[in-house]
């Protein structure tokens, strides 16, 4: 059987690596926006992870004219009333690096005894005409006092996962995917894969223009 093309609306190599690891035994080829050169990007100005995931997926599906998968994720802390939340990628400023975001979070959390936090991942699968399917995963943990570990991306060095006594940055991709927010959302997506393909085919058929009428009786 040929491979099914999955286009992921992201330029984040960390996310891409986790998607690829999750689907490595599946007949799926995953491309990202890094394979499409410069195309217009959706604005991530939604108030929720759901809004942003849907915006990214449907906008990119319209631009490319094919079904697209998008993921929006972030870190939610109890002590900071949910921050950095939907602003996770740009917590320390518009083009902030992971290091700058980590430094800002440590500063904001200084002296806080409530270190409880969770990661959220919302995955949206959209077709060019607009409709989308949504999957969500969460993972609870604690904000560490100091960064630890070299793997992963984003806030991984600060996100301590008590059951494994490690930060996400101290885990392999496989270990992280087994427990993480993204891993959980992706597991659901994988489980429903056949249904999703059927749903996509139906949506695409609905929006096709009526068949050309070939009249051979001139």
Active site amino acids? 72
Q: Which residue is nearest to ligand IMP (CB)?
A: 154
191: phi then psi, degrees, rounded to nearest 5: -60, -35
Within residues 125-144, the interface with ligand IMP by CB under 6 A covers none
The distance of closest approach from Cβ of residue 87 to ligand IMP in the complex, given in angstroms and rounded to an integer, is 9
d(CA 153, CA 92): 15
Contact between 160 and ligand IMP per CB under 6 A: no
Contact between 148 and ligand IMP per CB under 6 A: no
Give whichever of 53 and 133 is closer to ligand IMP, judged by the CB atom. Answer: 53
Taking residue 111's Cβ as centre, other Cβ atoms within 10 Å add up to 6
The distance of closest approach from Cβ of residue 11 to ligand IMP in the complex, given in angstroms and rounded to an integer, is 8
Which of 73, 77, 124, 167: binder of ligand IMP (CB under 6 A)? Answer: 73
d(CA 130, CA 65): 11
Residue (of 75, 98, 213, 96) closest to 151 by Cα position: 98
d(CA 179, CA 126): 26
Give whichever of 9 and 200 is closer to ligand IMP, judged by the CB atom. Answer: 9
Contact between 153 and ligand IMP per CB under 6 A: yes
Give whichever of 89 and 143 is closer to ligand IMP, judged by the CB atom. Answer: 89
d(CA 30, CA 67): 12
Contacts with ligand IMP by CB under 6 A: the residue count is: 18
Contact between 182 and ligand IMP per CB under 6 A: yes
Contact between 83 and ligand IMP per CB under 6 A: no
| H-run or E-run covering 122 | strand 116-126
Which of 58, 60, 77, 88: binder of ligand IMP (CB under 6 A)? Answer: 88
Which of 23, 60, 168, 170: binder of ligand IMP (CB under 6 A)? Answer: 168
Contact between 12 and ligand IMP per CB under 6 A: yes
Give whichever of 133 and 203 is closer to ligand IMP, judged by the CB atom. Answer: 133
Contacts of 44 (CB under 8 A, 6+ apart): 52, 55, 56, 72, 86, 89
28: left (phi over 0), alpha (psi -120 to 50) or beta: beta
Contacts of 101 (CB under 8 A, 6+ apart): 84, 88, 89, 90, 91, 92, 154, 155
Beta pairing partners, 7: 31
| H-run or E-run covering 148 | none
Which of 8, 16, 75, 125: binder of ligand IMP (CB under 6 A)? Answer: 75
Binding site for ligand IMP (CB under 6 A): 12, 44, 72-75, 88-89, 101, 119, 152-156, 168, 180, 182
């Amino acid at each position: 059987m040929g491979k099914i093309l999955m286009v992921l609306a992201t330029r984040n190599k960390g996310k891409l690596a986790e998607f690829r690891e999750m689907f490595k035994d599946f007949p799926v080829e995953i491309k990202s926006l890094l394979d499409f050169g410069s195309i217009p990007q959706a604005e991530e100005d939604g108030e929720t992870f759901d809004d942003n995931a849907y915006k990214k997926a449907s906008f990119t599906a319209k631009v490319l004219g094919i079904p697209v998968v998008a993921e929006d994720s972030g870190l939610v802390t109890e002590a900071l009333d949910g921050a950095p939340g939907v602003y996770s990628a740009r917590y320390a400023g518009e083009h902030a690096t992971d290091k700058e975001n980590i430094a800002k979070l440590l500063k904001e959390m200084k002296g806080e005894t409530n270190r409880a936090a969770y990661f959220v991942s919302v995955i949206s699968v959209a077709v060019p005409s607009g409709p989308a399917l949504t999957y969500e995963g969460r993972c609870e943990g604690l904000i560490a006092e100091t960064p630890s570990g070299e793997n992963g991306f984003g806030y991984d060095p600060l996100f301590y996962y008590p059951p494994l006594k490690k930060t996400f940055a101290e885990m392999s991709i496989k270990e992280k995917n087994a427990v993480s927010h993204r891993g959980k959302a992706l597991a659901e997506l994988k489980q429903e894969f056949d249904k999703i393909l059927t749903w996509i085919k139906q949506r695409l058929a609905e929006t096709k223009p009526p068949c050309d009428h070939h009249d051979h009786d001139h």
